[in-house]
């Protein structure tokens, strides 16, 4: 092979720098996408119009519209209704729970964004598991992997739409649902069979921190609240008496949190900062002992005499609620204090779980991350209000699933079904069908325009639109052909099947580190060029890459749904690989067996 030209070396350097930045996770992926665009512009790889063409790409429009359709199904109660029926049908059997939720997750992901499918099913799955006495760790990982498997069998996921766009940009036909369903569906069925038959032997027998507490009678002991939760009784001689709670600045001075105020038969939860303190008031304070004990110098008596009883329900009308931070939530990067969470929702954070570790001090000062689980204490009402916030998932909101679909729910379901049928027919471009469906959902009142702006994951669209020009530059400079020749040469010994298998493993491996969307953006153009270079059907290789990008089975960071179930399931990073290695092997073997039977490869 002749040496690379300076222009090709510069483009390869940009690609390598982007991959290193994404793998290190020290630079936000959306910022990496912007820097790639800037680098391509200064390197004059693309004209100015081509550099920003990704924002008008049909793939980006389709994904944006898909977010809107998914949000309409959520807001009108369609998916909650489905989740409620599943929870009711589970009957408390572990096997039945796993089958129902894993298969349903795979089916839902055929028509909606994966993260949304898990986010909607997660509260129902956790609730059904706890009612049936089943550990969440036995259910949630199969649910997440089932959703990923279903995502490989449909056109309506980001990675699949991206590889379809790569085909179209190189003069090939775009993919349809029928291109994915036979091969992707066969691989998904093999994967589901593994999850249901072999998976239970590989899943951990582990209680989540919240799950163990909710099934134990002494909640204070379950959460070791006795180490952090104190009763502070004000004596008549205390200088705090007569002051407004805000004026005492107890929280700021000592780094503690006043959870509630008990006054005779009245409970203020959370207490109003303007409340004037009186003798014999009892403050329920959360904090380290050495900090809380400092209040003894201000005319108070500090103890823990009735804390356990209060949280068991005899004194305080409160509930413990677990709240999970949704992937790409607007709350990510902000602290609870910055969000004014307590003032807005009337709930106080007792603990935060992140990466299998609990934090119970200064919880309000932690910058939130995707997948964080927060243990909240508050009255029952605020939990239901918080459940309607798009950035959080409340595992026990107190709201029952709708008994039947309302008019708007039926309308949203019918519009979605019509959009899927039209998209599958191939008579209308998928971007037009999806955009028309989204507009129709707004016109019929299923979703408001403000809801549309909130529903779209703008960060994801920026990443996709920003990295798309990189694929175009790989093709226009001929570097994609050069790379495909090397790839084809390395994998040519196994023939067309070996080439497809190698691309599957390559895309699956890259997905574990940088996610399926970015892997598809990088490998899509190379796969199409490789197919042309070795005389293999390009759409088939594109589908193989897409299925590989759905194989997010080995790490928590390979897909947002894996992070989403980590805290509620009490999982450790090793749990993903323990189940995922076997699942990946089964999917790989199924792919090799089905390729000659179902494709023109």
Q: What are the tens digits of pLDDT across the range 268-298?
A: 777 888 888 989 888 888 778 888 889 988 9
Q: Where are the alpha helices (DSSP H) in 43-76?
A: 48-51, 58-75
- pLDDT of the residue at 473: 86
> Which tens digits make up the pLDDT trace of 168-216?
888 899 898 889 999 999 999 999 999 999 999 999 987 655 554 444 4
Assigned token pair, 120: 């909607």
Burial of 236 (0-12, 13-18, 19+ CB in 10 A): exposed
CA pair distance 287, 76, nearest whole angstrom: 41
Instruction: From residue 196, give the alpha-carbon distance in Å to each of 99, 104, 481, 483, 553.
Output: 7, 13, 42, 39, 15
Facing residues of 10 across strands? none
Can the peptide bond before residue 541 be classed as cis, meaning omega within 30 degrees of 0?
Answer: no
Tokens of 578: 């323990």
- Residue 454, helix vs strand vs coil: helix
Q: Which residues have CB under 8 Å from 369's CB, separation 6+?
A: 325, 332, 354
- Alpha-carbon torsion, ordered 179, 180, 183, 189, to 10 deg: -150
pTM to 2 decimal places: 0.78
Count Cβ atoms below 10 Å from residue 243 Cβ, excluding itself: 15
What is the overall mean pLDDT for the chain? 83
Instruction: Determine the distance from the C-alpha atom of residue 325 to the mean position of all C-alpha atoms in its chain, rounded to a whole number.
Output: 9
Segment 310-334 mean pLDDT: 68
Question: What per-residue confidence (pLDDT) applies to 224?
Answer: 53
Could you tell me which residue, 222 or 446, shows the higher pLDDT? 446
SS3 string, 98-161, reads HHHHHHHHHHHCCCCCHHHHHHHHHHHHHHHHHHCCCCHHHCHHHHHHHHHHHHCCCCCCHHHH
pLDDT (mean) for 412-434: 87
Report pLDDT digits (tens) over 372-410.
Answer: 888 887 766 677 777 777 788 887 655 555 556 788 989
| Beta pairing partners, 357 | 354
Once rounded to an integer, what is the mean pLDDT over residues 487-512?
84
Confidence at residue 505, expressed as pLDDT on a 0 to 100 scale? 94
In the predicted model, is pLDDT for residue 310 greater than 60?
A: no
DSSP 443: H
């Amino acid at each position: 092979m002749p040496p690379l030209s300076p222009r090709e070396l510069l483009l390869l350097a940009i690609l390598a720098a982007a991959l290193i930045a994404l793998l290190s996770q020290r630079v936000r992926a959306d910022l990496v996408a912007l820097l790639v665009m800037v680098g391509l512009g200064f390197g004059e790889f693309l004209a100015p119009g081509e550099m920003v063409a990704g924002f008008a790409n049909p793939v980006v429009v389709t994904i944006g519209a898909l977010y809107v359709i998914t949000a309409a199904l959520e807001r009108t109660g369609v998916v909650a209704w489905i989740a409620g029926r599943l929870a009711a049908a589970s009957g408390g059997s572990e096997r039945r729970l796993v089958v129902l939720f894993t298969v349903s997750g795979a089916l839902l992901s055929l028509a909606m964004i994966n993260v949304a499918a898990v986010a909607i099913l997660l509260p129902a799955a956790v609730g059904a598991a706890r009612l049936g006495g089943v550990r969440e760790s036995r259910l949630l990982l199969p649910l997440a992997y089932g959703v990923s498997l279903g995502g490989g069998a449909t056109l309506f996921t980001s990675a699949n739409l991206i590889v379809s766009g790569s085909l179209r940009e190189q003069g090939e036909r775009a993919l349809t649902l029928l291109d994915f369903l036979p091969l992707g569906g066969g691989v998904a069925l093999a994967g589901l069979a593994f999850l249901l038959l072999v998976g239970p032997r590989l899943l951990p027998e582990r209680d989540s921190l919240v799950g163990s507490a909710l099934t134990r009678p002494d909640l204070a002991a379950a959460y070791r609240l006795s180490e952090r939760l104190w009763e502070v009784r004000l004596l008549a001689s205390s200088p705090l008496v007569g002051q407004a709670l805000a004026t005492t600045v107890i929280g700021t001075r000592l780094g503690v949190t006043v959870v509630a105020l008990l006054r005779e038969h009245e409970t203020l939860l959370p207490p109003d900062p303007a409340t004037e303190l009186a003798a014999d008031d009892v403050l329920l304070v959360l904090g380290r002992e050495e900090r809380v004990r400092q209040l003894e110098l201000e005319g108070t008596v500090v103890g823990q005499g009735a804390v356990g009883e209060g949280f068991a329900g005899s004194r305080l009308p409160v509930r413990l609620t677990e709240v999970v931070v949704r992937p790409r939530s607007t709350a990510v990067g902000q602290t609870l204090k910055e969000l004014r969470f307590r003032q807005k929702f009337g709930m106080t954070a007792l603990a935060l779980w992140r990466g299998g570790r609990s934090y119970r001090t200064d919880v309000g000062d932690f910058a939130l991350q995707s997948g964080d689980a927060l243990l909240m204490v508050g009255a029952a009402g605020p939990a239901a209000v918080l459940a309607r916030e798009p950035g959080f998932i409340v595992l026990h909101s107190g709201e029952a699933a709708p008994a039947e679909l309302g008019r708007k729910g039926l309308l949203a379901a019918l519009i979605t079904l019509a959009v899927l049928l039209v998209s599958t027919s191939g008579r209308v471009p998928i971007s037009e069908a999806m955009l028309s469906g989204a507009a129709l959902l707004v016109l019929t009142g299923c979703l408001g325009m403000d809801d549309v702006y909130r529903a779209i994951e703008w960060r994801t669209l920026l990443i996709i639109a920003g990295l798309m020009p990189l694929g175009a530059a790989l093709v226009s400079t001929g570097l994609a052909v050069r790379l495909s020749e090397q790839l084809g040469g390395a994998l040519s010994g196994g023939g067309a099947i070996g080439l497809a298998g190698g691309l599957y493993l390559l895309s699956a491996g890259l997905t574990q580190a940088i996610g399926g969307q970015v892997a598809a953006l990088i490998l899509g153009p190379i796969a199409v060029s490789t197919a042309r270079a070795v005389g293999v059907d390009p759409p088939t290789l594109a589908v193989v890459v897409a299925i590989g990008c759905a194989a997010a089975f080995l790490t928590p960071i390979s897909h947002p749904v894996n992070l989403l179930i980590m805290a509620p399931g009490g999982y450790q990073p090793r749990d993903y690989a323990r189940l995922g290695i076997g699942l990946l092997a089964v999917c790989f073997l199924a792919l090799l067996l089905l390729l000659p039977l179902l494709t023109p490869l």
